[in-house]
């Protein structure tokens, strides 16, 4: 069997814990600081060992995380074959979850590489976006997070009013209207029900919401510029023609999905988005389907859910499908929504794929 140097790396914000299968066929543990200097030290040591052994290939694997793809980029530049693994697709027993240490995690990653190189077992690696797409994702994700923060502040305001039994007048309208904002401004200054401390809290929440709305407007300009780029222009425009899909939803879909040509069929799309049911098999019993896997991007599932509800509430074409599923069992409303999310995702994939081909 041809010898290789294989490395499982448990990557953290401060350290990289390595489990290395060296040129001598023995395992060892090494620790390097996370950062440019630590990565240089690691690659220098691995390459020197490989050269002394006659130029052995080096394989490295680590789990995808919020630390991005710097390790992958530098490993590729150094000629190291690097795999970035999907954490949700790495099987772990109950005992492994309980007895979790950095060294054990690194060893498990090393074992995954060994099974892949020596036995040909499929490795649960993820698709790596290019640098431009990573940068564009940051803007879209920041806009999504601002929307979530704004929603949380609105909930806090409504909860505060509820605790003090302050009700907005009917003329303020439903939703977050100008009339409601005007009412809140008055209450924050003059309300006797709120009391002095309650008014201060309301004033603080109003300032927070105002700042978030200002930032949202700034990022909306950035999204408009992003939608004008050749890479996203045609796909985003075509996607917004679908019912319930706005510009933000379209850009989230395009940036999170990346190259849509890497999916061969609708099943792969549903699986990637975590909208496919989990399957259980045991002995002679047939397969049983459970809850959806929730693998993939939670951001995408969130905007798909919002788009589906927008169409259902507007009594769009998918309303009939929703009602048909919900009629069978009123408790299956969530199942109906998930089914519509999957249907919408597949339609968006078809439309986006066709637009990407024309834009290429």
> Of the residues 228, 257, 284, which one is the last residue of a structural domain?
228
Counting the structural domains of the chain, the total is 3
Q: Write the CATH number for 34.
A: 3.30.420
In terms of pLDDT, which residue wins out, 41 or 360?
41
pLDDT digits (tens, 9 = 90+) for 264-307: 999 999 999 999 887 655 555 555 566 788 888 899 999 999 99
Give the separation between CA 26 and CA 19, rounded to whole angstroms.
10
126 lies in some domain: no
Q: Residue 172 — pLDDT band, cuts 50, 70, 90? A: confident
pLDDT confidence of residue 279 = 64
pLDDT confidence of residue 318 = 83
Q: Is the pLDDT of residue 135 over 90?
A: yes
3-state secondary structure of 100: coil
Measured between alpha carbons, how far is residue 193 from residues 187, 196, 306 in Å? 9, 9, 36
Give the separation between CA 231 and CA 250, rounded to whole angstroms.
13
In terms of pLDDT, which residue wins out, 318 or 227?
227
Model pTM?
A: 0.88
CA dihedral 223, 141, 60, 13 (to 10 degrees): 130
Residues 264 and 340 grouped into a single domain: yes
Give the separation between CA 281 and CA 275, rounded to whole angstroms.
19
The closest of 110, 51, 356, 89 to 230, measured between CA atoms, is: 356
Residues 238 and 218 grouped into a single domain: no
Q: 8 with 110: CB under 8 angstroms? A: yes
Edge-to-edge order in the sheet of strand 58-63: 27-33, 15-21, 5-11, 58-63, 81-85
pLDDT confidence of residue 288 = 55
pLDDT confidence of residue 327 = 84
Residues 31 and 100 grouped into a single domain: yes
pLDDT digits (tens, 9 = 90+) for 12-29: 999 999 999 999 999 999
In terms of pLDDT, which residue wins out, 349 or 175?
349
Six-digit token string for 14: 């401060």
Q: Residue 86 — pLDDT band, cuts 50, 70, 90? A: very high
pLDDT confidence of residue 282 = 53
DSSP 99: T
Q: In the chain, what are the helix, strand and coil shares in percent, each to the nearest 5?
A: 60, 15, 25
pLDDT digits (tens, 9 = 90+) for 196-225: 999 999 999 999 999 999 999 999 999 999
Q: Which domain holds residue 217?
A: 132-228
pLDDT confidence of residue 49 = 96
> Of the residues 88, 119, 150, which one is the last residue of a structural domain?
119
In terms of pLDDT, which residue wins out, 315 or 207?
207
């Amino acid at each position: 069997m041809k010898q290789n140097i294989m490395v499982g790396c448990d990557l953290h914000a401060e350290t990289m814990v390595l489990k290395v299968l060296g040129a001598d066929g023995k395992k060892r543990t090494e620790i390097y600081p996370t950062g440019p200097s630590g990565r240089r030290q690691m690659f220098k040591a691995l390459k020197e060992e490989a050269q002394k052994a006659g130029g052995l290939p080096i394989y490295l694997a680590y789990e995808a995380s919020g630390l991005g793809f710097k390790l992958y980029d530098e490993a590729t530049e150094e000629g190291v074959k690097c795999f970035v693994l999907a954490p949700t697709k790495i099987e772990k027993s109950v005992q492994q979850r309980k007895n979790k240490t950095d060294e054990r995690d690194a060893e498990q990653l090393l074992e995954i590489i060994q099974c892949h190189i020596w036995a040909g077992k499929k490795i649960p690696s993820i698709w790596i976006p290019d640098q431009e797409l990573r940068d564009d994702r940051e803007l879209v994700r920041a806009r999504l997070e601002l929307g979530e923060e704004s929603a949380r502040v609105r909930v806090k305001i409504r909860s505060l009013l509820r605790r003090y039994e302050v009700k907005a007048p009917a003329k303020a309208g439903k939703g977050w209207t100008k009339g409601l904002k005007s009412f809140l401004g008055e209450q924050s200054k003059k309300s006797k029900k709120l009391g002095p401390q309650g008014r201060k809290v309301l004033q603080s929440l109003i300032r927070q919401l105002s700042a978030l709305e200002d930032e949202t407007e700034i990022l909306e300009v950035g999204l408009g510029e992003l939608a004008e780029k050749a890479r996203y222009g045609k796909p985003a425009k075509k996607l917004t023609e679908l019912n319930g899909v706005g510009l933000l939803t379209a850009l989230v879909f395009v940036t999170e999905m990346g190259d849509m040509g890497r999916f061969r069929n609708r099943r792969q799309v549903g699986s990637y988005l975590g909208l496919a049911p989990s399957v259980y098999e045991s002995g002679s019993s047939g397969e049983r389907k459970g809850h959806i896997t929730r693998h993939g991007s939670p951001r995408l599932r969130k905007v798909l859910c919002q788009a589906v509800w927008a169409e259902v509430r507007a009594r769009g074409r998918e309303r009939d499908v929703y009602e048909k599923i919900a009629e069978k069992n009123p408790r299956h409303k969530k199942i109906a929504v998930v089914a519509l999310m999957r249907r919408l995702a597949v339609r968006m994939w078809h439309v986006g794929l066709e637009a990407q081909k024309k834009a290429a």
